[in-house]
Amino acid sequence: MAQNEAITPQILPPNPEKATLEGRNKYLAFWFFLGGETVLFGSLFGTYLGLRSSTEGGPGPADLFHLDLVFIMTMILLTSSLTSVFAVINMKRGNFKMLLVWMWATVILGLGFLGFEIYEFYEYAHQGLGYGVSAFASSFYTLVGTHGAHVTFGVLWITTLLIRYRKSGITLTNAPKFYTAVLYWHFIDVVWVFIFTVVYLLGVGG
Amino acid sequence: MAHVDPSAPLEGKASKETERKLKRESRTQIVSFVFMVFITTTAFLTVASDVIPSGFAIPFILLLASVQVIMQLYYFMHMNAKGTGWVNALIWGGLFVAAMTVAALMLLIGITKY
């Protein structure tokens, strides 16, 4: 019976996330998913770029966007990408405690980013940019909001892993899970690079 | 390795060679992070300053964004590592379709609307 078997400890392999077939499958399938996500965001970017000048008398990009706020949000997300890189490095090193610490740091930075985004949307709504005010408004909220939903999902995902595996140590089961969550987090940052450039910088300067 | 219990905690330390590799990697990652902070700041300053004409600023910040995305993909997400042929195919395939989608939507919406 399985429950009577003694747990035999495994030796830490150099890449624990890819040491099992399941881990390798998750890795490849997750990249397949990210390829699809690229197309999802591509269509939202295309819609926004096609509609961004139709403000219908409502507030436009140059009236609303504040570069200092966007700069802070960009730096928070970029730093959270680096903390999740450190988490993976510590996982490969076999240092479970530091893996958890860096992952929690990533979660906290993600929450900080979300806080700024909620404040930003709240401010815009106050300045008269409701979702249905103009084609610019709805395409803007859909694009940036979909990204924000991804950040929310990423925060919940990583938090779930951190609570579920708070005491387990690194195993061949959870190493691929942490690794794919980190890939997802990097992808969120990749999308944000396009958002701050195409939406905010072009909105103010173009 | 006939029967591996995947829920057993992994014990032992990383080998000397792995440790060395990881040390080198974290140095590379910090350098690329600093570089990304630098190009992000450059992009923001390009737009914030009134001196730079927008005819130069727009292609310039788009170029900076592409550089940063490629650095994210190849350094932070390790698309430069060995055995990532399929990963590269999937992401570049996605980017290819996304680029056509963006171009088509921009052109089509513009034509039907105005």
The total number of residues shown for chain A amounts to: 206
pLDDT score for B13? 84
How close, in Å, is residue B108 to chain A by CA atoms?
Answer: 8
B19 contacts A81? CB cut-off 8 A: no
pLDDT score for B34? 97
Smallest Cα–Cα separation from A62: which of B61, B56, B105, B47? B47
pLDDT score for A6? 60
The chain B residue lying nearest A53, using CA atoms, is B110
The complex's ipTM? Answer: 0.91
pLDDT score for B112? 58
Give the tokens for residue A40: 């999802």
Which DSSP category does A171 fall into? B
Average pLDDT, chain B: 90
> Comparing A2-6, A87-91, B25-29, B90-94, which segment has the lowest mean pLDDT?
A2-6
Count of beta carbons in the 10 Å neighbourhood of residue B81: 10
pLDDT score for A96? 95
Residue A199 exposed, middle or buried by CB count within 10 Å (0-12, 13-18, 19+): buried
The chain A residue lying nearest B15, using CA atoms, is A14
User: Hey, is the C-beta of B22 within 8 angstroms of any chain A C-beta?
Assistant: yes
Give the tokens for residue A91: 């996982």
Across the interface, which of B9, B11, B106 has its CB nearest the CB of A168?
A: B9
Phi, psi angles (nearest 5°) of residue A166: -60, -25
Give the tokens for residue B3: 């029967």
Contact A51, B28 (CB under 8 A): no
pLDDT score for B114? 44
Contact A83, B29 (CB under 8 A): no
Strands (E) in chain A, as ranges, are 10-11
Give the tokens for residue A21: 């077939």
pLDDT score for A205? 83
How close, in Å, is residue B20 to chain A by CA atoms?
Answer: 10
Q: Which residues contact A174 (CB under 8 A, 6 or more apart)?
A: A161, A165, A168
Read off the pLDDT band of A4 (50, 70, 90): low
Which of A157-161, B74-78, B104-108 is the most confident on average? A157-161
Is it the case that residue B82 has pLDDT exceeding 70? yes
Average pLDDT over residues A48-59: 90
Tens digits of per-residue pLDDT, A105-116?
A: 999 999 999 999
Contact B21, B29 (CB under 8 A): no
A31 contacts B7? CB cut-off 8 A: no
Contacts of B26 in chain A (CB under 8 A): 85-86, 89
pLDDT score for A1? 46
pLDDT score for B42? 96
pLDDT score for B63? 96
Average pLDDT over residues A161-186: 95
Is it the case that residue A2 has pLDDT exceeding 70? no
In order of start, what are the domains of chain A with their CATH numbers? 59-205 (1.20.120.80)
Q: Pairing between strand A10-11 and B10-11?
A: parallel
Q: Which residues contact A36 (CB under 8 A, 6 or more apart)?
A: B94
Cα(A73)–Cα(B69) distance, integer angstroms: 17
Average pLDDT over residues A74-93: 96
How close, in Å, is residue A18 to chain B by CA atoms?
Answer: 11
